[in-house]
Structures are given as C-alpha cells and as structure tokens.
Amino acid sequence: MDYSNEVIRAIKNRRSAAKLSPDKPVGREMIEAVLDAAIWAPNHHLTEPWRFVVITGDERKRLGDAIADAISSTPSDPPMPPEKVERERTRPLTAPVVIAAICSPSQDKRAVAQEELVAGGGALQNMLLAAHSIGLGTKLKTGPYSYSQVIRGFLNMRDSESLISFVYLGFPEGEAAPGKRAGLVGKVDWRS
C-alpha cells in the first residue's frame, strides 16, 4: 500500500529555502493564511499558547539593529567579527516578511510549560507547510542572540514567553538543499 498523498508529500517536499526574493512583496492575505494555519496546531486544554509579530518594511531595519545590539551584548567566545555582526544586522532585509513566532504559555492552572512549547512547535510546522502549499518559501533563524533581553524587549515579550523562531517568509529563489533525514532505523521501539 502506498500511503503517499498530498499531505505526506507536502511534509516531505517542504525545504528551507535557499534564498527569498527580498523585494517581491507578500500580500497580507497570504501572511494571514500562514498564521491561520499556525493556530490549528493541537494544544492541550485549548490554551492556544502562541502569538506572532509580523515584521515588514522599515521595521525589518529596526529588527536588524536590535539583532546587532543583541549580538554585541551577548557574550560569545570568540566574539563575533564586526563584519559578521553587520551581516546579521542586514539579514532581516533578505526577506520581505519576518515573523517572530512566540510561545505564550497560558495562565490556566492545567497548563504544563512543556506542553505549551510543544504546541508552539506544532504551530511553527503548520506555518512552514501552509507557506509551502501556497508557493511561499521559509527560512528559520534563531541563534544565541535571539534569546537575549534586547530581542525580548524588541518583541515586547513577557517573562513567561519564549521565542520559538524567527520565520523568514517570501517567494523562494534558487534551489533548496536536498532534504536529508537519517530514517527511522534506531528511532522506533516496536512493542506488541
């Protein structure tokens, strides 16, 4: 039996984009379609523990400045060379849209922090698949600076919140690297 179908093919064929067209705008309806898919991820007690910051236009420059500040204030050994810091400053301009996907755990007494984060991961995957299904490409970006106070401040994050990832969104350009997975061998304990 071949269980390959549209959903499974989309899951397997989605790849992180090599490059995104920086100047080809993505309409608001496409962005909303991606976010609307995100929120259908499973989440325990229906806490819906997520929120999104959609960064476009000149706000991408302000994000880049925050990233550069964050790198300068995040100790690293060896320190990041200045030219690399400048590359990170301009990185948000490499996509027309950058979405910060944030896990925002519920105050509900039944909510379990780990489950809230897992739900956030599901929302992230939904975003990537929805984008892929409507012809958009995505690239994820984190790194030590993304968890810094500077970035938390930029995104107005409460103490309980955590960044799931920055999602760079746009029309894909060039060939993505081929998908690579080690397969199921050694990952499954079959019991009966």
Ligand X SMILES: Cc1cc2nc3c(=O)[nH]c(=O)nc-3n(C[C@H](O)[C@H](O)[C@H](O)COP(=O)(O)O)c2cc1C
Candidate residues 42, 79, 82, 179; the one interacting with ligand X per rule CB under 6 A: 179
Candidates 14, 11, 16, 31; CA nearest to 141 is 16
Could you tell me the smallest distance in angstroms from the CB atom of residue 165 to ligand X? 4
The residue range among 49-57, 75-83, 103-111, 139-147 that interacts with ligand X, by the rule CB under 6 A, is 139-147
Binding mask 59-78 for ligand X (x = CB under 6 A): --------------------
Q: Rounded distance, CA 126 to CA 135, Å?
A: 14
Q: For residue 149, state whether it binds ligand X (rule: CB under 6 A).
A: no
Q: Note whether 44 binds ligand X by CB under 6 A.
A: no
Nearer to ligand X, 22 or 143 (CB): 143
Is 154:63 a contact under the CB 8 Å cutoff? yes
Site membership for ligand X, residue 126 (CB under 6 A): no
Distance CA 35, CA 130 (A): 9
Q: Which of 73, 76, 142, 160 binds ligand X (CB under 6 A)?
A: 142
